[in-house]
């Protein structure tokens, strides 16, 4: 259903056992209620790991929030390899530079920063990210972040200082988004925290909304569902526009925050709250009519389909794959590459629903199409790899097809 929460965090096995015993359930009864095998429950309670959708199912069976399984405890024993740190060294040096008594350790600027060129370069990087050109983004971002630090330091007051802060906020948002995509979560958090601080300093509430939206995605990736819902809804309340006067961009920023709030509530086993938040999101989508709000360098695109996709995803999180497929069939068929890209995350939900309804070939077909159309994006979607592995395991054929062979090579399945 959803991507695993793959951050360092306290192990949920002890909490699961405690909640199960409090509910008066045996491991067999809990497994039956959750629709899981007894072996999965035993593995988790012994200290094994599972995908986040498995924890959702257990939380539903126990009648608790998913986040209850991840209460505070001892740090996880697994650590990242040094190779991971070396790969990200340029971005680490730009986003988290060492500090002295006088502030950041930065290089002196030889010439006056060109704010217009910085803004233009930032826009180019945002476009490259949405085109899945991650290699280009990774190469350009470190120097761009350094350049924005230099601009903020050079223009230390007035309108130019405010503009430099806005640009740095946008660039740090892009860095946070990229780092979340590649699962460098702690560094992503630093980038987004600083992006929010810059936007707050210049009173740019749309910038705050955009950065908090990215933070919500990061928190959900980490399994910090309570916080993801809280920051999304608190910020949505702060930026809620007067519908009759709102611009498309304002509606989009507000709507996107509500989408993340609904997603977090749904994943946290709070379906009633997820529905209520999504109802507000429909207000933003309806206000746009057939139009679309676009913010390439921050939250992407928003329209009525964004709300529809989230509603369908919430059904998948609630383990209703049949409803996912019925609702998906009602959506208009996307036309053109941009239309397909806009709905690619939704297509992963549809693939997962096909798998859950015992149609592994349908799931594989969707994944193969996504691999051909948007390989760089798909490579970073752990949900896609898990869906394919499960589809391959559940396939009734003795020999794999050419498409399955291609996907196996793509996902590194042996």
Per-residue pLDDT of the chain (414 residues; tens, 9 = 90+): 444 444 344 567 888 888 888 777 888 889 888 888 888 888 888 888 787 788 888 988 888 888 888 765 433 333 444 445 557 889 999 999 888 877 766 666 567 889 999 999 999 998 898 888 888 898 999 999 999 999 998 998 899 999 999 999 999 999 999 999 888 999 999 999 999 999 999 999 989 999 999 999 999 988 899 999 999 999 999 999 999 889 999 999 999 999 999 999 999 999 999 999 999 999 999 999 989 998 877 788 899 999 999 999 999 999 999 999 999 999 987 766 666 778 999 999 999 999 999 999 999 999 999 999 889 899 888 899 999 999 988 887 778 899 999 999 998 865
Sign of the torsion formed by the C-alpha atoms of 382, 174, 303 and 317: positive
Span 25-59, pLDDT tens digits = 888 889 888 888 888 888 888 888 787 788 888 98
Q: What is the DSSP letter of 408?
A: H
Among 70, 96, 119, give the residue marking a domain's end.
Answer: 70
User: What pLDDT does 82 receive?
Assistant: 45
Question: Structural domain of residue 297, as residue ranges?
Answer: 219-319
Q: How many CA atoms lie within 13 A of 195 on its CB side?
A: 30
**b (16+ CB within 10 A) / e for 286-296:** ebbeeebbebb
User: What pLDDT does 4 receive?
Assistant: 44
Strands (E), 107-213: none
Does residue 128 sit within a domain? yes
Among 177, 203, 229, give the residue marking a domain's end.
Answer: 203
Whether 100 and 199 share a structural domain? yes
Q: Specify whether the CB–CB gap between 175 and 95 falls below 8 A.
A: yes
Length of the chain: 414
Whether 64 and 96 share a structural domain? no
pTM of the predicted model, to two decimals?
0.79
Structural domains of the chain, count: 4
- E strand or H helix at 386: helix 382-394
**Does residue 193 sit in helix, strand or coil?**
helix
Q: What is the CATH number of the domain that holds 53?
A: 1.10.260.40
User: What pLDDT does 1 receive?
Assistant: 45
Whether 310 and 368 share a structural domain? no
Whether 225 and 197 share a structural domain? no
User: What pLDDT does 53 receive?
Assistant: 80
Does residue 81 sit within a domain? no
Expressed in angstroms, the distance from the first to the final Cα of the chain is 23
Among 70, 95, 118, give the residue marking a domain's end.
Answer: 70
Whether 119 and 177 share a structural domain? yes
Angle formed by the axes of helices 382-394 and 360-373, to 10°?
A: 140
Residues with Cβ < 8 Å from 387, sequence gap 6 or more?
Answer: 348, 351, 352, 355, 363, 367
Whether 223 and 314 share a structural domain? yes
User: What pLDDT does 229 receive?
Assistant: 96
Does residue 139 sit within a domain? yes
- E strand or H helix at 390: helix 382-394
Whether 106 and 22 share a structural domain? no
Whether 107 and 180 share a structural domain? yes
Q: Specify whether the CB–CB gap between 322 and 358 falls below 8 A.
A: no
Percent of the chain with pLDDT over 70: 90
User: What pLDDT does 414 receive?
Assistant: 54
Whether 185 and 268 share a structural domain? no
User: What pLDDT does 170 receive?
Assistant: 94
């Amino acid at each position: 259903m959803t991507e695993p929460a793959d951050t360092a965090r306290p192990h949920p096995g002890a909490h699961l056992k405690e909640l199960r015993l409090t509910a008066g359930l045996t491991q067999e009864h809990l497994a039956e209620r959750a629709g899981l095998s007894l072996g999965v429950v035993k593995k988790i309670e012994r200290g094994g790991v599972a995908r986040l959708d498995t924890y959702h199912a257990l939380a539903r069976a126990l009648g608790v929030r998913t986040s209850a399984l991840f209460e505070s405890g001892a740090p996880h024993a697994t650590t990242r390899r040094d190779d991971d740190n070396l790969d990200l060294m340029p971005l680490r040096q730009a986003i988290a530079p060492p500090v002295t008594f006088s502030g950041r350790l930065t290089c002196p600027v030889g010439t006056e920063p060109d704010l217009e060129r910085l803004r233009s370069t930032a826009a180019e990087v945002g476009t490259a990210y949405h085109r899945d050109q991650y290699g280009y983004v990774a190469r350009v971002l470190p120097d761009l972040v350094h350049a924005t630090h230099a601009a903020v330091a050079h223009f230390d007051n007035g309108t130019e200082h405010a503009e430099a802060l806005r640009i740095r906020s946008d660039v740090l948002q892009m860095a946070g988004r990229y780092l979340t995509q590649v699962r460098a979560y702690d560094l992503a958090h630093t980038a987004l925290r600083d992006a929010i601080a810059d936007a707050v300093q210049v009173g740019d509430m749309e910038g705050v909304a955009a950065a908090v939206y990215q933070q919500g995605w990061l928190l959900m990736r980490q399994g910090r569902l309570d916080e993801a819902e809280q920051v999304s809804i608190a910020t949505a309340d702060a930026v809620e526009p007067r519908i009759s006067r709102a611009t498309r961009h304002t509606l989009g920023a507000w709507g996107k925050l509500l989408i993340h709030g609904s997603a977090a509530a749904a994943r946290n086993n709070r379906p009633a709250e997820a529905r209520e938040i999504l109802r507000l999101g429909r207000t933003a989508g309806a206000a746009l009519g057939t139009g679309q709000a676009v913010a390439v360098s921050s939250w992407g695109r928003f329209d009525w389909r964004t709300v529809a996709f989230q509603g369908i995803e919430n059904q998948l999180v609630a383990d209703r794959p049949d409803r996912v497929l019925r609702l998906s069939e009602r959506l208009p068929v996307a036309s053109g590459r941009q239309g397909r890209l806009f709905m690619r995350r939704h297509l992963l939900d549809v693939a997962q629903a096909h798998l859950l309804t015992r149609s592994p070939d349908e799931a594989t077909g969707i994944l193969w199409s996504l691999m051909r159309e948007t390989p760089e994006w798909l490579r970073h979607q752990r949900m896609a790899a898990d869906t394919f592995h499960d589809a391959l395991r559940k396939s009734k054929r003795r020999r794999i097809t050419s498409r399955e062979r291609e996907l196996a090579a793509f996902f590194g399945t042996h």
